[in-house]
Amino acid sequence: MLRRGMHALRFSLMLLVLGSVALAPVGVQAAPVGMPLPSGWLTRLVGLLPQPGQSAQLMDWQASRLIMTLTGRVAELGGDREALRTIMNKFQRGEKLAYDPRLGISRAEFDSYLLFEPALAPTGKRIKLPATREGSRLRFGDVAGLDGVLRGLEIDLLTGELRAPEGFSGKPQIFAADNAQERALDVQSGFEWNLRGNNPYTQNGINLIVQLVSLKGGQTVLSVSRFSMMNGRTSDGRVIVQYAR
């Protein structure tokens, strides 16, 4: 009885985290409808994907100089550390930042820090991407530094469909920047997959965003944010890599 109750609680938490409650046993929420894919999009998409064993740099969002100044300023004035930590976490996720009086600074001073955009910067670590060709599919594995975020993802090179081992799949759409971090990138073109779904029978679920973009400087950026539930066990992570094709 206790085990059954724990399974029910775990599934309820999964629905809460994934943000979708479906009446049907299996739910899949598609990505918002974006711009139609242009002629020749599949060739362009395949041209951006990494080659097997592709050398890549691990990247991360770097706080701007004034964001770092904000940290020092709050410490100087004895502002609330938890409020500052919340602000910095939202910044790292690219979310909109809201003023919190507990920081100990005025709203006007806080707003002055938001005029400066974040920058995507290398972490100093290079890896060989664990990508392999299996027929008409590109399949990702895992290596140190990726924390399993790419593991098991497959892209069909004939259709562009992305499949996840949690049991869900979806087609790409044109990339459109929708937060400060994404707008800070000098994107020439790109694609995005957005999968969200849950299956109460298998206790599998996913909330996955994959972005594949070409920068005007000639580099390609692959960004993957993934919340996964497999057989009731959850994992969460994000990876950004940059490489040249």
Q: Are 204 and 183 members of one domain?
A: yes
Residue 144 CB burial class (10 angstroms; 0-12, 13-18, ≥19): exposed
Domain holding 82, by residue range, is 65-116
Q: pLDDT grade, residue 17 (50/70/90)?
A: very low
Dig out the tokens for 105 from the structure: 């600074």
Q: Are 228 and 148 members of one domain?
A: yes
| Overall domain count for the chain | 2
Average pLDDT, the chain: 83
pTM: 0.71
Q: Given the structure tokens 């459109």, which residue do they identify?
A: 176
241, 58 in Cβ contact below 8 A?
Answer: yes
Say how far apart CA 11 and CA 21 lie, in whole Å: 11
Q: Are 142 and 109 members of one domain?
A: no
Q: Are 160 and 235 members of one domain?
A: yes
Q: Given the structure tokens 């362009």, which residue do they identify?
A: 44
∠150-153-156 over CA atoms, to 5°? 140
Q: Are 87 and 188 members of one domain?
A: no
Say how far apart CA 190 and CA 192 lie, in whole Å: 7
- Give the CA dihedral 83, 86, 91, 97, nearest 10 degrees: -60
Q: Are 88 and 147 members of one domain?
A: no
* Model confidence pLDDT, tens digit, residues 102-155: 999 999 888 877 766 667 889 999 999 999 999 999 999 999 999 999 999 999
Q: pLDDT grade, residue 15 (50/70/90)?
A: very low
Residue 32 scores a pLDDT above 50: no
Distance of alpha carbon 81 from its chain centroid, rounded? 26
Q: Are 71 and 161 members of one domain?
A: no
* CB burial string 13-24: b at 16+ within 10 A, e below: ebeeebebeeee
Q: Are 149 and 226 members of one domain?
A: yes
The pLDDT assigned to 70 comes to: 85
As beta bridge partners, residue 120 has 61
Say how far apart CA 147 and CA 104 lie, in whole Å: 37
Dig out the tokens for 100 from the structure: 């919190």
* Model confidence pLDDT, tens digit, residues 189-200: 999 999 999 999
DSSP state at residue 101: G
Domain final residue pick, 100, 116, 132: 116
Q: Are 44 and 94 members of one domain?
A: no
